[in-house]
Structure 1
């Protein structure tokens, strides 16, 4: 039988990697990343997979299949500081990756998603609900991503395309380690999520029968500082 097809962006590391490995148990996975070197080990580890290589902030998306069952937007970047100290180039770079690339890829994928009655999952953040000093750029991009997902959900509801926003708290990743180092704090694995926990939440949304939609779901570490 044909495996359903899932495209996962940012699949070479962190949450995206965990999601790709989990979905690979049941899906043919298009492993998204910026370089072939980055995605090749994930493709090799899966029973049915192929690379989907592009820098989606600047490049057009590679060819998409005629039917796409799942699209997981996991690629993202965290940058910026206090508003008074952050220039426009930083804002544009973060929004280009965290929002504009998502919008472009989703638009290109909609015919395939409609054909399959597919599911779009936006891996957002706790910062999609609240900001803090020094976090305006990242939070603004994630607030915007949440608004994008909310609008897409209503626009595509009649076509049978479901849309889910998942909001993880601090998750063990290269991005998180860089953020903690920039903040001058010690990295504590006890107060961050395992990426596999976020992948399990993605799996919950994917496995829900098509008559229902997980619209918005938050997951946070059990222990927090």
Structure 2
């Protein structure tokens, strides 16, 4: 039985990944913003452990986790939580920039730093749920794309640093996925939300598990996933 720590398990891709791992009997440690959300996650995933840590404030993550029980070892750390706050560079405030970078980039870096000892013990796997925006930046997507470009740099640096410790690092770059975040993006862009046009969260979850379950003699560095033809 493998042990996984997951951010973003409350909805969308994170929830789909947690469900797949829970169904096969793996041990889950789920990060929640507050005690109420932690209680909800514990009810949805019986037997899972919960950790309360607010990704909005990465400089407090060390303090928050130091007051809670952590796993002795980790087979994977799955960074799936994220936010998308769109807007032109000429309109975005520093508050919006800082929150986007905190949740999407700095918090994953800090969580990784804090949990590397457990990952090294098991020669574990760090997965960063990136985005197509981590490869190409479009108008109105400056802050989000910057955070995801930074996340790619974080993953690439970590991979080189931890290779000799046996820690694998994978970045997954999905296109648009039918999640609550995507519904918010469509609203920001002034479009109707049509989930049948986008990738199902379960399909991205399958991609994440593909990387996790790869035999130890191989490692997926970067994996892009795009909407396929639905036949409709």
Measured after TM superposition, the shift of residue 80 of structure 1 is 3.2
1:44-73: CA deviation from partner (whole Å, max 9, x where unpaired): 343541112210332325242221101000
Is this contact kept in 1: 2:81–2:104, CA < 8 A?
A: yes
Is this contact kept in 2: 1:205–1:214, CA < 8 A?
A: yes
- What stretches of structure 2 of length at least 5 have no aligned partner? none
CA distance in 1, matches of 2:44, 2:93: 41
What's the counterpart of residue 222 of structure 2? Answer: 216
TM-score (norm 1): 0.94
CA distance in 2, matches of 1:223, 1:181: 24
Is this contact kept in 2: 1:15–1:74, CA < 8 A?
A: yes
CA distance in 2, matches of 1:35, 1:183: 30
TM-score (norm 2): 0.91
Measured after TM superposition, the shift of residue 42 of structure 1 is 3.6
What's the counterpart of residue 10 of structure 1? Answer: 8
Measured after TM superposition, the shift of residue 185 of structure 1 is 0.9
Is the counterpart of residue 52 in structure 1 residue 79 in structure 2? Answer: no
What's the counterpart of residue 22 of structure 1? Answer: 20
Is this contact kept in 1: 2:175–2:226, CA < 8 A?
A: yes
Output the aligned Cα RMSD.
Answer: 1.5
Is this contact kept in 2: 1:21–1:42, CA < 8 A?
A: no
- What stretches of structure 1 of length at least 5 have no aligned partner? none
Measured after TM superposition, the shift of residue 140 of structure 1 is 0.6
Is the counterpart of residue 36 in structure 1 residue 35 in structure 2? Answer: yes
Which stretch shifts more, 131-140 or 60-69? 60-69
CA distance in 1, matches of 2:199, 2:37: 23
Instruction: Give the counterpart of 1:117 among 119, 123, 126.
Output: 123
- State the number of aligned residues: 222
The within-5 A match list for 1:173-212 is 173-212=179-218
Instruction: Give the counterpart of 1:144 among 125, 140, 150.
Output: 150
Residue 60 of structure 1 aligns to a residue in which SS? helix
Shift of the 40–193 alpha-carbon distance from structure 1 to 2, 3 Å rule, reads: farther
CA distance in 1, matches of 2:202, 2:117: 30
1:4-39: CA deviation from partner (whole Å, max 9, x where unpaired): 210000111111111111111231000122133334
